Structure 1
Amino acid sequence: MNVFLLLYLCTSAARTDCQVIPVQRWIGPDSYQQCGTAAGQLTASLTDKNRKRLYFICDIQDAGDVGAAQRIELRLTRQSFLL
């Protein structure tokens, strides 16, 4: 199983316009737990104001779905230039 930690960067606290940014990827049977731990730690490190605009989601992909993993990694590269 592949698990991706995704950051949703929103322009307002209403979360109506958000950009998704892949942050990290885990592979293996305990990958969802690792992602959940990282998401919790990252969320706790945000200020109250930023918690309204930023949030982390763990997204599960099949281990055999290499195409999806590559698409997410490519999107990270493109979006990193936009930031």
Structure 2
Amino acid sequence: MTVILLLYLCADATRTDCQVLPAQLWKGPDAYEQCRAILPDLTKALTTPNRELHRLICEVQAENPQPSELVVRPAVTHQSFRM
């Protein structure tokens, strides 16, 4: 399993205009657990206003993506919409 820690840098608290930056990568059977284990400390390291703006997410990546699953992701910008 491959897990990427993603940092969403957002312009405002609505999180509708965010840039996504990969921060770290883990591989192995316990990759997700390793990523989740560091989230509390990283979140505490953010200032209170930044905790409302930014978000850290552990995302599991497919090991062998099929051609239909291959998606070209934007290098810098990402829109995130919440209902």
Shorter-chain TM-score: what band?
0.7 to 0.9
Contact 1:7/1:57 (8 A) holds in 2: yes
TM-score (norm 2): 0.74
TM-score (norm 1): 0.74
- 1:1-83 residue pairs with structure 2 within 5 A? 1-65=1-65, 75=75, 79=76
How many percent identity over aligned positions?
A: 47
Q: Is the helix fraction higher in 1 or 2?
A: 1
Count how many residue pairs are aligned between Structure 1 and Structure 2: 71
Alignment root-mean-square deviation, CA: 2.0
Q: Which runs of 4+ in 1 moved over 3 A?
A: none
Whole-angstrom CA distance in 1 between matches of 2:29 and 2:13: 34
Question: Considering only CA atoms, is the larger Rg found in Structure 1 or Structure 2?
Answer: 2
Gaps of at least 5 residues in structure 1 are none
Gaps of at least 5 residues in structure 2 are 77-83
